[in-house]
Amino acid sequence: MSGEIVQKQKEALLKKIAEHKALSKPVLDKVRKASSLEVVIMFDTTGSMDTYLSEVQVHVQLIVREIRKRVPDARLSVIVYKDHEQGPYVTKTLPLTDKEEDVISFLRSPAIEPGAGGGGPEAVECALFEANQLDWSPGNKGKAIILIGDKPPHGVMDGFEECTSHRDYRVETNRLIEKHVKVYTVLCNNVAETRANFQWLADKTGGKFVTLEAIHDLVNLIVAVSIKESNPLLLQAYTEELRQKGILTDSKRKLLESIR
């Protein structure tokens, strides 16, 4: 066996030892106590997103508890959106809160139901505007938006004037950057016209863009993005936890690797 191969094996072993130490309970306990997190779940609630919304509504309690188990002081917000003149609301916002019951009752409210929407852009720009109105903490760590949808904002496939509230997603994105808020974009239904814009939003803010291929991965993805933004070690530990439980499918593994 050549010296080069032996050296590589030694380096791999040392890496595994370092990872094991990093994921030890005392280390993770310290990470949890020191971590902070403010995250917005931003959701397209038009008709095409019916099954995705239902998945989150059913498992919202699990999502909140899994996040707060790892980041006890986490504050969560929910912003849902449709489009102009196509439903009972354009946007609805739950302010950042540390109360589990507030998040659950908001997402499961009868008022938050899928419907309306057409084949074109949705009011993403208005949802981004609402995110800018939240009481984000100062500082540059642990702040993220998880944007889950299948259509781009107005100004991508149509004119900016189609937003009757006169919002511009580029302006709102720059304001989020000033607040050090990252946007993680999750493309559903694999709509090609949305891909470039969602990629731009993620790249511009320092977040990540992912395509959701399996709907049952959405809950784990929301938890993973949230805790990763608080501290990458928490994502590493979460991935290992899923593996040990035997539920780290190939699609989940690829998703979690893509947000590192």
Where exactly are the structural domains of the chain?
33-258
Determine the pLDDT at residue 160: 78
Window from 7-21, 50-64, 128-142 with minimum mean pLDDT:
7-21
Whether 82 and 90 have beta carbons less than 8 Å apart is answered as: yes
pLDDT tens-digit profile of 140-155?
889 999 999 999 999 8
Q: 143 phi and psi, to 5 degrees?
A: -130, 125
Is 114's pLDDT higher than 90? no
Is 49's pLDDT higher than 60? yes
- Mean confidence (pLDDT) of the chain: 88
Q: Which long-range contacts (CB under 8 A, 24 or more apart) does 56-63 make?
A: 56/107, 56/148, 56/218, 56/219, 56/222, 57/107, 57/108, 57/112, 59/219, 60/103, 60/104, 60/107, 60/108, 61/100, 61/104, 62/219, 63/219, 63/222, 63/223
* pLDDT band with cut points at 50, 70 and 90 for residue 171: very high
Is 158's pLDDT higher than 90? no
Calpha distance 70→68 (Å, rounded)? 5
Window from 154-163, 184-193, 248-257 with minimum mean pLDDT:
154-163
| Number of neighbours of residue 78 by Cβ within 10 angstroms | 23
Residue type, 87: G
pLDDT tens-digit profile of 195-222?
999 999 999 999 999 999 999 999 999 9
pLDDT average, residue stretch 108-134:
89
Determine the pLDDT at residue 192: 86
CATH superfamily for domain 33-258: von Willebrand factor, type A domain (3.40.50.410)
Angle between helices 3-22 and 232-244 (to 10 degrees): 100
* pLDDT band with cut points at 50, 70 and 90 for residue 14: very low
